[in-house]
Chains A and B, each alone.
Chain A
C-alpha cells in the first residue's frame, strides 16, 4: 500500500475526531432526556430552532468557506469543534502565522496555525474550568461594575490592534470594504446584530475591489 501523506492523514484523523466530537455533543441532550425521562417533544424544539437555525446554518456555511483557507486542515478540524472562531481562534492563528512569517496554505503555515488553535483551545478550556471551579469567590470580581466596561469592549480592543497589522500592510485592498461597512453602520446602526451575515458581504466587496485593482496593475 502506498504510504499516505501527512496531509491525507490529517484528513483521516480530522474526520475521526470531528465525527466523534459530533457524537459526544449529541450525547449530552440524549443522555439527559433518557436519564430524566424528559423528552421535550418536537414542537418546542422546532419552534426554538425556527428562531435561530436559519441564521446559524447560513453563518455556519459562511464560516466554513471563509475560515478553512485561513486555518488550514488540522486547524479547521480542531477550531470548528472548539468554537469561538471569530473572537479567538482565527485571530490567534493569523497572528501566530504573521509573527512566524509563514503564510496560510503552506506546510509551515499549517504547523503554526495548528499549534495556535490547539494551544488557544486548551488555554480557554482550562481558564473556563478554573473559573467554574472558583465561581463563588470570582463572581464579585467579575461582576464588578469597574471591570465590566473592559470586557464589554473586548472585540473593539482586539480588532483595533489586528486592523493596524493588516490594514497598514494592505491599505489598498482594505479601503473599499472599510468605507462600505463604516457608512453602512453609520446609516443603519441596527445592522450590528447581523455581523455574521455581513462578513461575506464585506469579503465579496473586498475581493471585488481587489480584483479591479489587480487587473489594473495597482496592487
Chain B
C-alpha cells in the first residue's frame, strides 16, 4: 500500500476521533444545562457563559490552527489536525515529533514519506500523552475527596488554597514572558504585550464598575487578549522584532 501522510484513510481516522470528541462535548454540555435548570440557576446566565466562552475561544483556536499548519509541513494534515484538536497541544506534539525524528536521524524540514517513521512519531505522540487520560479516572475522586476534607475542616483555608494554586500557575506563565529579555529591546515585546493586556483589562474593570457596563464583564478577557495581540502586531515592526 502506497503511503502518504495526507491519505484518505488517515483523514477518515482523524475525523472519526474528532467527531467522537464533539459528541462527548455535546453530551456533557446538554447534561450541564439540564443540571443547571434542576438547580434553579439563571438560564440566561448559562447561555451567556456559552456565548462568551465561544467568543473567547476564537483567538486561541486560531493560534492552535497555526500549530497544525507548522506540523503539517512535516507530518501531513491528518495527524497534527487530530493531535491538536483533541488531547494534545503544540507544546507536546512538536517536541515529540522532534525527539523521534532525531532518534531516527530524519530531518524535520521535509514531508515524511517513510511509513515507519510516520508510525513511530504517531506512537511516541500517543504514548507520550496518554497517561493523563488514565490519571483522571484513577485520581479524580481522591483529589476531590482530599480537597473536600480540607474544606470541611477549614472552609476559608480551602478557598485560599485553591486561589493560591491558581496564582502559582499564573506566576509561572508571567515569568515566562521574561524568556528573551537578554536579546535586547525586542525581547521585551512579550512584557509590553502583557502590560498592555493588563491595562485593557484594568480599563474594562473601571468601565464595568463606574459606568455600570455589566455586559462588558463577559467580553473583558477576549477584548484585552485581542487588543494586546493587535498591539503586538503594531509594536513588533516598530521595535524591529
CB neighbours (8 Å) of A41 from chain B are 116, 120
User: Which of A115, A147, A160, A195 has the most chain B CB atoms closer than 10 A to its own CB?
Assistant: A160
> What is the chain A residue whose CB lies nearest that of B235?
A149
Q: Which of B17, B57, B137, B176 contacts A25 (CB 8 A)?
A: B17
Is A1 an interface residue when CB atoms closer than 8 A count as contact? no
Using a CB-CB cutoff of 8 Å, which residues 18-74 of chain A contact chain B?
18-22, 24-29, 31-33, 35-41, 44-45, 47-53, 56-57, 60-61, 63-66, 68-70, 73-74
How many chain-B residues does the 8 Å CB contact rule pick out? 155
A3 to B170, CA, bound (A): 41
Q: Which of A56, A68, A81, A161 contacts B92 (CB 8 A)?
A: A56
Q: Which of A11, A27, A149, A166 contacts B232 (CB 8 A)?
A: A149
A-B CB proximity, top 9 nearest: A160-B197, A51-B99, A48-B100, A181-B175, A203-B168, A192-B179, A161-B224, A38-B115, A47-B103
Would B27 and A17 count as touching, CB distance under 8 A?
Answer: yes
Contact A178 to B171, CB < 8 A, known contacts A80-B133, A87-B89: yes
Would B233 and A146 count as touching, CB distance under 8 A?
Answer: yes
Would B136 and A77 count as touching, CB distance under 8 A?
Answer: yes
Q: Mark B22-52, 1 if CB is under 8 A from A, else 0.
A: 1011111101110110110100011011101
A160 to B186, CA, bound (A): 18
The SS class assigned to the A binding surface is helix
Is B143 an interface residue when CB atoms closer than 8 A count as contact? yes
A35 to B130, CA, bound (A): 23
Using a CB-CB cutoff of 8 Å, which residues 189-222 of chain B contact chain A?
189-191, 193-198, 200-202, 205, 217-218, 220-221
Would A96 and B53 count as touching, CB distance under 8 A?
Answer: yes
Using a CB-CB cutoff of 8 Å, which residues 181-213 of chain A contact chain B?
181-182, 184-186, 189-192, 195-196, 198-207, 209-211
CB neighbours (8 Å) of A10 from chain B are 31
Using a CB-CB cutoff of 8 Å, which residues 118-173 of chain B contact chain A?
118-124, 126-137, 139-141, 143-144, 147, 151, 156-173
CB neighbours (8 Å) of A159 from chain B are 170, 173-174, 177, 194, 197
A14 to B124, CA, bound (A): 26
Q: Mark B78-103, 1 if CB is under 8 A from A, else 0.
A: 01011011111101100110111011
Q: A118-B29, A164-B202 are in contact. List 12 more A-B contacts (CB 8 A).
A: A22-B130, A32-B118, A48-B96, A69-B144, A82-B21, A100-B48, A114-B29, A119-B25, A173-B164, A178-B174, A182-B175, A189-B182
